[in-house]
């Protein structure tokens, strides 16, 4: 189905993604540490995609049950992470506007 | 179809990274999460079209149930409880990564003969399983602690040894799975050991170190997701997971640095439990003050600095405190808020709460920005903060918090401390500041006391 990612290119992807993650966070004011942790928590909610594939390929009851929980937990990670981050950042927006207005 | 899905994943990953970048500046922070959210929805929808998938009923049911629970709990939770919710959702992510690994390992155990998986795939699945499971059980313990279900740092004799035994057991079963063969009994044993290790590593850690630990688990979950991404051949998971792993590691370092505690100390040290030095008697006495007198002191001051801590969050006093500050500002008093990097239960926790109450940015200052100012300040109002203003961190090398940078509240002319009752801070250490000659204790609930202060200032 999907083009396979060969060994060495996987290592390159890993390396470059690590640099990207490091750079993006490098200059962050303390004020945003909590929202940012929450935001990155949301982003690893992408595990949902993998959980869906795992459940989609599951055969037999055991695999299905474990796969079901994978999707359930992943969905909680993604949705919960989004809601909490959004609520935190919403407040930053309002205080900013108050200040400007 | 396959390549179209790949394109959607590519766009989603780009949105994640750009979104994270946006989130790192206050001005665009909110757009950042929206961008990342769009990426997530797109990637999820695209995944339904991956060829040869089955069990759609279960899939949709799980998504609806999980999303529903998370949506309601995320919307309902009070701002003060945010840190533990982050821990909880992070644990869910770790658990999901571990469950993916479990499904893949179960598949492998089913068909030894026509082994379609290469050795490296199994090894990565096992590595992701360990990390994800430890992050899962560890995050749940962190959640329980911050939620107050598990109060104390749990310690017992030979704890390090017990941890080591579990660790060695976990690694050896993992190595067995990865290199010798996949067997269902060993898979179960392996996951049990990893669960136990996550619990054992987290229970002895004191509450003050929790933010660092949660951040670390966040990074670990990212890494676990990346590993499972390799197993499933999914570039979106690899990249997003790795980005979070790296960003989370850096965040963890920044936090540990702010507390002046190397990460190894947080994990293997014994914060708040060291004997001797911490038990030392503090000289002086606690001198109480009534709210009206405190109100007078502040109203006639030129410069007031407010130091908020977790106690303010618990009392939900931030709105009242800001109302009081506005009165003082109207009276011509220069009011500033001083935020210690680890005030509250997470870096930036106090900033979030004050922003919620409507305090403008320019009145909220970091430790580095404001520490010089304490010496020229008339009144420092400490509300619900404790360890972050404890001068013992400067003076007593025996103290467990020795060396942690603190807000120099004790240099101010007067200090008023709003506190619910006597008793030590989260680290369990007596606070020498409270016994100083120029310190007055205002005992009571934070919100109630803020109310009384507002009344007091009004009546002047």
Range with lowest mean pLDDT among A33-47, B140-154, B193-207: B140-154
What DSSP designation does B231 have? Answer: H
Burial class (CB in 10 A: 0-12, 13-18, 19+), B87: buried
pLDDT of residue B114: 46
Q: Are B386 and B426 in contact (CB under 8 A)?
A: yes
Write the DSSP string, B186-210.
HHHHHHHHHHHHHHHHHTTS-GGGH
How far does A97 lie from chain B, in Å, by closest CA? 10
CB contact (8 A) between residue A57 and residue B82: no
Q: B interface mutation test: which of A76, A85, A90, A92 has the most B CBs within 10 A?
A: A76
Q: What is the pLDDT of residue B85?
A: 92
Active site residue B387: yes
A31 CB neighbours in chain B (<8 A) are 26, 339, 348, 351, 361, 364
- Closest Cβ opposite residue B47 in set A49, A80, A94: A49
For residues A37 and B215, the answer to whether their CB atoms sit within 8 Å is: yes
Mean pLDDT, range A5-11, rounded to an integer: 78
The DSSP bridge pattern shows strands B364-366 and B334-339 to be parallel
Q: Say whether A40 and B247 touch across the interface (CB within 8 A).
A: yes
3-state DSSP assignment of residue B269: coil
Q: Check B81, B209, B373, B387 and give the catalytic one.
A: B387
Cβ separation of B24 and A32 shorter than 8 Å?
yes
> Which helix H or strand E contains B383, and what residues bound it?
strand B379-383
CA dihedral defined by B84, B89, B93, B95, rounded to 10 degrees? 70
Over residues B135-156, the pLDDT tens digits come to 999 999 999 988 888 766 777 7
Least confident of B45-49, B312-316, B360-364, B397-401: B397-401
Residues 6+ apart with CB under 8 A from B281: none
DSSP string, A27-95: T--GGGHHHHHHHHHHHGGGHHHHHHHHHHT--HHHHHHHHHHHHHHHHHHHHHHHHHHHHHHHHHHHH
The neighbour count for residue B80, using CB atoms within 10 Å, is 20
On whether the CB atoms of residues B454 and B330 are closer than 8 A, the answer is no
Alpha carbons B440 and B365: distance in angstroms, whole number: 24
CB contact under 8 A, A71 and B27: no
Q: Who among B29, B36, B347 is closest to A42 (CB)? A: B36
User: Which residue of chain B has the CA closest to A66?
Assistant: B99
Flag whether residue A14 sits within 8 Å of chain B, measured between CB atoms: yes
Per-residue model confidence as pLDDT tens digits over B246-286: 999 998 888 777 766 677 777 766 444 433 334 445 667 88
Q: Is A12 on the interface with B (CB under 8 A)?
A: no
Q: What is the pLDDT of residues A19-36, one digit of tens each?
A: 999 988 887 777 777 888
To test the contact with chain B by mutation, choose from A47, A63, A96 the residue with the greatest count of B C-beta atoms within 10 A, namely: A47
* Among the partner residues A56, A62, A70, nearest to B54 by beta-carbon distance: A56
Single out the residue of B132, B131, B153 nearest to residue B142, CA to CA.
B153
- B417 neighbors B442 (Cβ within 8 angstroms): yes
Chain B residue with minimum CA distance to A99: B360
pLDDT of residue A94: 47
Are residues B88 and A3, on separate chains, in Cβ contact within 8 Å? Answer: no
Residue B43 to chain A, least CA–CA distance (Å): 7
Regarding an ipTM greater than 0.85, the answer is yes
CB count within 10 Å of CB B338 equals 28
Question: Do B119 and A7 touch, CB atoms closer than 8 A?
Answer: no
Q: How is residue B284 annotated by DSSP?
A: S
pLDDT band at A96 (very low <50, low <70, confident <90, very high): very low
Is there a contact between B411 and B292 (Cβ–Cβ < 8 Å)?
no
Chain A to chain B Cβ contacts (< 8 Å):
401
CB contact under 8 Å between B358 and A94, yes or no, is yes
Q: Are the beta carbons of B234 and A98 separated by less than 8 Å?
A: no
Is residue B198 within 8 A of residue B133, CB to CB? The reply is: yes
Best B50, B92, B248 residue to mutate vs chain A (most A CBs within 10 Å): B92
Range picked from A4-8, B139-143, B159-163 for highest mean pLDDT: B139-143
Q: Give the dihedral of Cα atoms A52, A57, A59, A63; nearest 10 deg.
A: -40
- In the numeric block, which tokens belong to residue B58? 């279960």
Q: In what order do the strands lie in the sheet with B379-383?
A: B364-366, B334-339, B303-308, B379-383, B414-419, B439-443
């Amino acid at each position: 189905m999907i083009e396979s990612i060969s060994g060495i290119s996987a290592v390159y992807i890993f390396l470059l993604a690590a640099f990207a993650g490091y750079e993006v966070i490098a200059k962050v004011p303390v004020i945003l540490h909590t929202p940012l942790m929450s935001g990155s928590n949301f982003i690893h909610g992408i595990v949902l995609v993998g959980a869906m594939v795992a459940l989609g390929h599951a055969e037999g009851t055991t695999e299905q049950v474990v796969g079901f929980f994978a999707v359930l937990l992943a969905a909680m990670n993604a949705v919960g992470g989004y809601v909490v981050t959004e609520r935190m950042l919403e407040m930053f927006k309002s205080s900013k506007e108050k200040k400007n207005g | 179809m396959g390549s179209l899905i790949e394109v959607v994943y590519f766009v989603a990953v780009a949105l994640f990274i750009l979104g994270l970048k946006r989130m790192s500046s206050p001005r665009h922070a909110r757009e950042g999460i929206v961008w990342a959210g769009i990426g997530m929805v797109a990637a999820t929808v695209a995944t339904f079209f991956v060829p040869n998938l089955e069990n759609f009923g279960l899939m949709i049911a799980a998504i609806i149930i999980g999303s529903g629970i998370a949506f309601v709990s995320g919307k309902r939770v009070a701002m003060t409880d945010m840190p533990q919710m982050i821990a909880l959702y992070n644990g869910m992510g770790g658990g999901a990564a571990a469950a993916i690994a479990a499904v893949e390992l179960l598949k492998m155990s089913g068909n030894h003969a026509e082994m379609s998986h290469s050795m490296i795939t199994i090894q990565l699945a096992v590595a992701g399983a360990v990390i994800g499971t430890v992050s899962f059980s560890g995050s749940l313990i962190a959640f329980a602690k911050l939620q107050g279900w598990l109060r104390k740092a749990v310690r017992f004799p030979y704890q390090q040894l017990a941890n080591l035994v579990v660790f060695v057991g976990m690694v050896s079963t993992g190595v067995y799975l990865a290199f010798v063969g996949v067997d269902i009994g060993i898979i179960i044993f392996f996951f049990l050991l990893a669960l136990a290790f996550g619990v054992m590593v987290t229970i002895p850690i004191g509450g003050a170190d929790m933010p660092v630990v949660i951040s670390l688990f966040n990074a670990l979950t990212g890494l676990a997701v990346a590993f499972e991404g390799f197993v499933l051949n999914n570039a979106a998971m690899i990249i997003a997971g790795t980005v979070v792993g790296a960003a989370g590691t850096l965040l963890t370092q920044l936090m540990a640095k702010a507390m002046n505690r190397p990460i190894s100390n947080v994990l293997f040290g014994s914060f708040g439990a060291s004997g001797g030095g911490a038990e030392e008697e503090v000289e002086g006495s606690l001198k109480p003050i009534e709210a009206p007198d405190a109100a007078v002191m502040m109203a006639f001051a030129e410069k007031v600095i407010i130091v908020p801590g977790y106690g303010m969050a618990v009392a939900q006093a931030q709105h009242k405190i800001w109302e009081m500050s506005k009165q003082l500002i109207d009276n011509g008093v220069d009011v500033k808020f001083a935020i210690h990097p680890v005030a509250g239960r997470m870096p930036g926790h106090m900033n979030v709460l004050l922003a919620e109450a409507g305090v403008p940015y320019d009145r909220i200052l970091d430790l580095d920005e404001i520490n010089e100012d304490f010496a020229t300040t008339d009144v420092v109002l400490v509300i619900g903060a404790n360890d972050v203003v404890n001068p013992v961190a400067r003076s007593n090398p025996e103290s467990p918090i020795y060396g942690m940078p603190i807000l120099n509240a004790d240099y101010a002319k007067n200090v008023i401390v709003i506190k619910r009752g006597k008793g030590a801070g989260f680290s369990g250490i007596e606070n020498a500041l409270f016994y100083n000659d120029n310190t007055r204790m205002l005992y009571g609930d934070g919100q109630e006391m803020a109310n009384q202060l507002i009344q007091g200032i009004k009546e002047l």
